[in-house]
Amino acid sequence: MIRVSAFKSVPPFAQGLVRDLRVRWALEEAGLPYEAVLLGDGEKDGADYRAWQPFGQVPAYEEDGLKLFESGAIVLHIAGKEEAGEALLPADPAARARATEWMFAALNTIEPQIQNLAAIDLFYAAEDWAKARRPGAEQMAQKRLADLASALRDKEWLTDGRFTAGDLLMATVLRILRHIELVTEAGLGAYLARCEARPAFQRALAAQMAAFGE
């Protein structure tokens, strides 16, 4: 059985955004069952968990003795599994490479600017330095979103006319800005809505949210 770590509780603003959602969603798309390992207060700092996830974050992943951390690496592993078929990555090598580049674009190009803005808004809004930094942070996020919208144009999905792990990761990154309207203003609202409408996403989100309600 696949095991995925997640938090038992997080503040309301983070519910539905914690990165185990990416792994849950990938597993749902691939049709692979899993068990959530819920961490309570202080458990992420224990020696056993740090041996699994050295930074004390979630998610961590375990399957038949293989232990992984970092959501992007885990999603890539799931997408490449034989049991997943072509649910997340095309079989054609060139198409698979294009989907993979969008996975890295989501995490390396888009997410840093989005996360920077979200951190200012959600954690440091009252700080003088954050008030001074926010206009520039918003401008950088807007620039990245505009570039993404230009690349997407009128396409349904990012590459090769089909949903891939690139779209999965990109959608979870865009959702970080759900507290403001930048994604919609950039013309990416319909794209994000398509991703969120997928039944596998809805199941993954419901599973994460259910844990917070227990």
Q: What is the pLDDT of residues 37-70, one digit of tens each?
A: 999 989 999 999 999 999 999 999 999 999 999 9
Distances from the Cα of 28 to the Cαs of 33, 99, 112, 115, in angstroms?
8, 18, 26, 25
- Note whether 19 and 51 are within 8 A (CB): no
Does residue 158 surpass a pLDDT of 80? yes
Rounded CA gap, 127 and 138, in Å? 16
Residues 131 and 193 in one domain: yes
Q: Mean pLDDT across the stretch 98-105?
A: 98
Residues 208 and 181 in one domain: no
Q: How many domains does the chain have?
A: 2
Rounded CA gap, 195 and 158, in Å? 11
Range of the domain at 52: 2-87+200-213
Q: Which two tokens stand for residue 56?
A: 């004390």
Residues 77 and 11 in one domain: yes
Residues 101 and 80 in one domain: no
Residues 111 and 74 in one domain: no
pLDDT at residue 213 in the model: 82
Residues 60 and 114 in one domain: no
Cβ within 8 Å of residue 145, ≥6 positions away: 110, 182, 183, 186, 188
Residues 36 and 97 in one domain: no
Residues 59 and 99 in one domain: no
- Note whether 49 and 60 are within 8 A (CB): yes
Residues 207 and 191 in one domain: no
Does residue 14 surpass a pLDDT of 90? yes
- Mean pLDDT over each residue of the chain, to the nearest integer: 97
Does residue 214 surpass a pLDDT of 90? no
Q: Which two tokens stand for residue 113?
A: 């600017």
pTM value?
0.97
